[in-house]
Amino acid sequence: MSRGTLSLERLNPLTTLTGAAAVAVITTAAGHWAFSLTVLGGLLALTARQARAAAVLRAAAAILLPFWTALLFMHGLFFPEGRTVLAELGPAAVTREGLLFALDAGLRTGVFVVAFLLFSFTVRVPELLTVLSARGLPPRLGFVVVSALTLLPAAADRIRRIRAAQEARGLVIGRSLASRLLAARLQAVPLVLSLVHESGERAQALDARGFSGRQPHTSLRTVPDSAPQWAARRVLLVLSLAAVAVRVALALFGGRA
């Protein structure tokens, strides 16, 4: 497998999973747009150095752009607590507080989305399954967890195939939003149906190959891990817990953070 310049693929899947979760927890606990913006910037810089950077960014844009637009409309224009009115548009008012709220929520969601996409596009599925099963997760459950975590990359591959089949029969996807929406509408049903059909087929093959067997499984490859990674996971966990504790303490005793 080729690697990016600072590839997350080389890390133990638990390290990247812990990292993604810690980033999400700490950013939520911090609850400040400037902090979220800094973290998001850092994540994007890290993304840019991955081999699949383009795929991660495309998926992030597909999720975040509609979400951010909705946030801006909802809170930018209609924010009941807004006091500092910047512009009046009939019943709607653009307020400084509303915009700040939208910015805060938008950036925080951005951190969440990019962190988990970065994880799911860079994790090596066989290794994740191996570490989950080594920690006692039943194989079928492990498969479900892994499938859920890597659903987006898998769906992205599948959509590419469906789009190729449709383009080969005359579908032209232009740059306009309407054209992209048409393409999405034409691809959504085939995507779901093919994933469902394949999951039935796959279950047969997995059963026949003994995947659901109760005996302990062995593993051909050892999953790379190291003392620094082990330590990093502990530090990330402690930091996450500390961030939550501080947040709760401030809320209880010290007013708002």
Partner 1 sequence: MSAGPLLAAHVASFRFHGADTPALRDISITADAGSLTAVLGGSGSGKSTLARILAAWLPGHYGGELRGRLELGAAGAGGRIEFTGGSDDPRIDPAAWAAHVAYVPQDAAAMLSTVRDTVAGELAFGLENLGVQVEEMRCRIADTAGLTGLQDLLERDPATLSGGELRRLAIGCAVIRRPSVLLLDEPFASLDAEGAGTVERLVRRLTAEGTAVVVFSSTADTLCRSASHWTVLGNTVLGSGEHDGGRQLAAGTPGTLLVAGVPADGDALARSGVVVPEDAPVTAPRRIHAGGATPLLELIDVRFGYDRAGDVAAPGTETLRGVDLALRPGEILAVTGANGSGKSTLLRQLNGLLRPGSGTVLLKGAPTDGTPAGVLAADVGLLFQDPRFQLFERTALREVAFGLGAKRRLLRRNGDDAGVRERALAALAAVGLDAHVNTHPLELPASSRRLLALATVIAREPAVLALDEPTVGLDRRGLEVLDTAMAEATAWGAAVVMVTHHLAYARARADRLLRLDGGVLTPLD
Number of other residues whose CB lies within 10 A of the CB of residue 143: 20
Shortest spacing between CB 117 and partner 1, in angstroms:
17
- The interface region with partner 1, picked from 83-91, 111-119, 209-217, 227-235 by CB under 8 A, is 209-217
Of these, 44, 145, 182, 239, which contacts partner 1 (CB under 8 A)? 182
Establish if 251 lies at the interface with partner 1 (CB under 8 A). Answer: no
Q: Smaller CB distance to partner 1: residue 208 or 252?
A: 208
Of these, 48, 63, 139, 239, which contacts partner 1 (CB under 8 A)? 139
DSSP state of 175: S
Establish if 224 lies at the interface with partner 1 (CB under 8 A). Answer: no
Q: Are 102 and 71 in contact (CB under 8 A)?
A: yes
Instruction: Look at residue 219 and give its three-state secondary structure.
Output: coil
Of these, 85, 144, 189, 251, which contacts partner 1 (CB under 8 A)? 189
Length of the chain (residues): 257
- Spell out the alpha helix ranges (H) of the chain: 13-30, 33-48, 53-71, 96-122, 125-134, 139-149, 151-167, 177-208, 227-253
- The interface region with partner 1, picked from 13-21, 83-91, 114-122, 170-178 by CB under 8 A, is 170-178
Q: Are 124 and 146 in contact (CB under 8 A)?
A: no
Question: What CA–CA distance (Å, rounded) separates 26 from 169?
Answer: 48
Number of other residues whose CB lies within 10 A of the CB of residue 68: 18
Instruction: Look at residue 145 and give its three-state secondary structure.
Output: helix
Establish if 143 lies at the interface with partner 1 (CB under 8 A). Answer: yes
Of these, 21, 211, 225, 247, which contacts partner 1 (CB under 8 A)? 211
Establish if 203 lies at the interface with partner 1 (CB under 8 A). Answer: yes
DSSP state of 222: P
Question: What CA–CA distance (Å, rounded) separates 184 from 177?
Answer: 10
β partners of residue 156: none
Q: Are 162 and 190 in contact (CB under 8 A)?
A: yes
Establish if 69 lies at the interface with partner 1 (CB under 8 A). Answer: no
Q: Mask of contacts with partner 1, 26-65, x by CB under 8 A?
A: -------------------------xx-x-----------
Q: Mask of contacts with partner 1, 95-134, x by CB under 8 A?
A: -----------------------------xxx--x-----
Residues forming the site for partner 1 (CB under 8 A): 1-2, 51-52, 54, 124-126, 129, 139, 143, 146, 161-162, 164-173, 178, 181-182, 185-186, 189-190, 193-194, 197, 200-213, 215-221
